[in-house]
Structure 1
Amino acid sequence: MSPMTDQSVSFSVLVVDDEPANIDILKDILQPLYKVRVAPSGQIALKVIERTPPDLILLDVMMPEMDGLEVCKRLKSQPAFAGIPVIFVTALGQGEDEERGFAVGAVDYIAKPIVPALVLARVKTHLALSHQQKVTEQAVQQRTQALLESQHSAINMLATAGHYNDTDTGVHIWRMAAYAKALALRLHWPVEKAELLGQAATMHDTGKIGIPDSILKAPRRLTDEEMAIMREHAQIGYEILSQSHCPLFDLAAEVAWCHHEKWDGSGYPRKLQGTDIPESARIVALADVFDALTMERPYKQAWSCEAAFDYIRNEAGRHFDPKMVELFCSMHSELKDIKQEWAQRECQTIAATAAKAS
């Protein structure tokens, strides 16, 4: 027995026809193999489908008030029901009418008078195709989810590696990334691209993995020679992240390379100036400095948000893009909310860790 035959009883077919005799004929043909429901009009069919979507619809074309073409068109306009195969059952001739039916989304036609063997063959074929498509889509979704989880793990590892020997707290990279994403959205970046920047921003200091501990952990002001080595992290980060040619890591490489450039050209590593600095890096530079100023470090107290905004305003046209600074500072309330949200998350993480240790 084929897999399709095994599963036939679990498939449901909705028969839609305004003629009771036609409904009875189709019910008699289908009921031994399928769960059959019926609807005497297009309006009732739509209500039935919304309540319990069938696996396939046999739909009469010529019906009063709402014909089958309109019913099919409405179904296909709704993502939840667009995948249900619709077979028109009609006494109309072929040609233009069939073309109209296919145009609104039907998968097949069955002509009246009904031939039982033909009905069973068409229904079985399209149920099998629909079922296989659903199985394939589920497999693709599972693989996609697995890839997303793997990608997130890679992001987390690279972001953590960049700060492993630094004095930053772990939450810094994610909070800063949230600021960057919020600013990107205010700059009218598409949501998907802003989300991508939020992920890429966490890896901005990946290159610090190549900087000696003696410099990263130096409990004093760095010498000029040490500072020159520290600045190499931008190039190192770019070289690491540019190994993977996908939109996320391409953006992360760009950010890692350019987030220490300054609007007036005095930054590093390439002394880019103005809009020659990628917008992604200009966004992350603002978010990174704001977060660094407002977080507590072993060697300093956290600045207030107001003091940080004042500093950023003073650096407009020197360190930062002036227009971006104006927009960033207008986001005062939103940025404070983000800061508060991550403070709560950090407290929850600390509490959970302490609970596990006890």
Structure 2
Amino acid sequence: MTSSSDRDSSDRAGAAMNVVLVDDSRSSIAHLTGLVQSVPGCAPHPFLSSARALEWCLRHEPDLVLLDHEMPPPDGLAFLEAFRAEHAEVPVVMVTNCTEQALRHAALNLGATDFLNKPVDACEFVARVRNLLKLRRSHLSLCSRSEWLDAEVRRATRSLALRERETILFLSRAAERRDPETGGHLVRMAAYTGLIAEALGLPAAEADLIHAAAPMHDVGKIGIPDHILLKPGPLDPEERRIMQQHPAIGHEILAGSSSVLLQVAAEIAFCHHERYDGSGYPRGLSSDAIPLPGRITALADVFDALTSVRPYKAAWPLDAAYEYVVQNRGGHFDPACVDALLARREDVPAVMAGEETPPAECCARLRCAEFRF
């Protein structure tokens, strides 16, 4: 259980020590308060009512509690049990004239730190308080240091993750620069993968991972000769065969990394041209044999190609693009992914708004092959 003292340790490490005194005897409270005031750096909080003391402790963070046993409800043991439910690390000293071993065992089992017998010896009391508060300060200092180190680790981890994503984006752009028809394709298609993954109900971290890895889907185009990649007209059969090698090339480039992000990117690069009915390439995988990130990216990739201007076509209107993906539901595309995209169709215009495009015209005569998917 995380105690409130642990949560607030960074704020408390250098502050005055709050010492709570609980005793229903006015004379005892006055005596103990005077002794606590003699210890430098202490702020005494005396209570004649254990109920009020407990209420205060549940709303504040004490550093030491000096607790009588024999009091109106809650008595010392009941107070200690309720107190420990909130404050796991704060030292509690039972100050009592009862020497019964059963009481001490019960108090220890409930989390008592130490005992002082009444009547309290002033010298012993001050020494015990100083020692316990010294330990308390050390605990707060360690907690504060731990929280600082934890924050530094989180900051460094975030920095590494951002650099890793930057590396992926830059490599993706390197591939994209060799294929001038794509324009802002990377950003848009990655955004579509995120929408689809979220609508499928994937955990946020998994959806974010797919979104971050998707821009690497076409990195294998680096290995395609310029005369094929940049050819303005249709590809002949041999050129198409060579072009269809880019998923395997992309997988070879990205595979073998210890980075989870690059592992997913390698999977996407290899599988984003597979089709749900098994008619895709390079391995002819079908249905669930295609990893889910590949199925998601396959739809996002084609959907952005349909709705974007390319040198060989105008952008399709959204209704025509939706009709196309629905017609290919269960053929080219995973039905669940199509349904997920349609469920998030209200978010699609915002993704498209990232790039200005001319007025769209539906080119119904264009076939899928002409998009070089």
TM over 0.5: same fold? yes
Separation (CA, whole Å) in 1 of partners of 2:141 and 2:334: 58
Counterpart secondary structure, 1:202: helix
**Is 2:38 the partner of 1:28?**
yes
- The corresponding residue for 2:367 is none
Whether contact under 8 Å (2:13, 2:137) holds in the other structure is no
Separation (CA, whole Å) in 2 of partners of 1:90 and 1:23: 15
Change (3 A) 1:322 1:44: same
- Once the two structures are TM-superposed, the CA of residue 290 in structure 1 deviates from its matched residue by 0.9
Counterpart secondary structure, 1:111: strand
- The corresponding residue for 1:112 is 116
**Is 2:273 the partner of 1:267?**
no
Change (3 A) 1:23 1:219: farther
**Structure 2 residue corresponding to 1:70, chosen from 82, 96, 103:** 82
* Aligned pairs (5 A) from 1:186-335: 186-335=199-348
Aligned pair count? 313
What is the identity, as a one-letter code, of the residue corresponding to 2:186? I
- The corresponding residue for 2:366 is none
Counterpart secondary structure, 1:15: strand
What is the identity, as a one-letter code, of the residue corresponding to 1:58? L
What is the identity, as a one-letter code, of the residue corresponding to 2:206? K
Counterpart secondary structure, 2:91: strand
Counterpart secondary structure, 1:112: strand
Larger radius of gyration: 2
- Once the two structures are TM-superposed, the CA of residue 275 in structure 1 deviates from its matched residue by 1.5
**Is 2:63 the partner of 1:57?**
yes
Q: Percent identity of the aligned residues?
A: 34
Change (3 A) 1:265 1:46: same
**Is 2:105 the partner of 1:88?**
no
Separation (CA, whole Å) in 2 of partners of 1:86 and 1:275: 55
Q: Structure 1 unaligned runs (5+)?
A: 1-7, 50-55, 77-84, 102-107, 345-358
Deviations 1:81-115, CA, capped at 9 Å, x for gaps: xxxx53333348554544443xxxxxx82433642
What is the identity, as a one-letter code, of the residue corresponding to 1:125? S
- The corresponding residue for 2:55 is 43
Separation (CA, whole Å) in 1 of partners of 2:273 and 2:162: 30
What is the identity, as a one-letter code, of the residue corresponding to 1:308? A
Deviations 1:136-175, CA, capped at 9 Å, x for gaps: 2233123213212221222222221221211255532122
Separation (CA, whole Å) in 2 of partners of 1:154 and 1:121: 49
**Is 2:163 the partner of 1:150?**
yes
**Is 2:143 the partner of 1:130?**
yes
Whether contact under 8 Å (1:12, 1:37) holds in the other structure is no
**Is 2:349 the partner of 1:336?**
yes
Q: Structure 2 unaligned runs (5+)?
A: 1-11, 24-28, 48-52, 97-102, 118-124, 357-373
Separation (CA, whole Å) in 2 of partners of 1:90 and 1:155: 61
Counterpart secondary structure, 1:67: helix
- Once the two structures are TM-superposed, the CA of residue 204 in structure 1 deviates from its matched residue by 1.1
TM-score of the superposition, structure 1-length normalised?
0.76
TM-score of the superposition, structure 2-length normalised?
0.73
Separation (CA, whole Å) in 1 of partners of 2:106 and 2:220: 64
- Once the two structures are TM-superposed, the CA of residue 268 in structure 1 deviates from its matched residue by 0.5
* Aligned pairs (5 A) from 1:152-191: 152-169=165-182, 171-191=184-204
Counterpart secondary structure, 1:291: helix
Whether contact under 8 Å (2:19, 2:44) holds in the other structure is yes
Counterpart secondary structure, 1:298: coil
What is the identity, as a one-letter code, of the residue corresponding to 2:192? Y
Whether contact under 8 Å (1:177, 1:198) holds in the other structure is yes
Change (3 A) 1:287 1:71: farther
Whether contact under 8 Å (1:262, 1:272) holds in the other structure is yes
Change (3 A) 1:43 1:277: same
- Once the two structures are TM-superposed, the CA of residue 261 in structure 1 deviates from its matched residue by 0.3
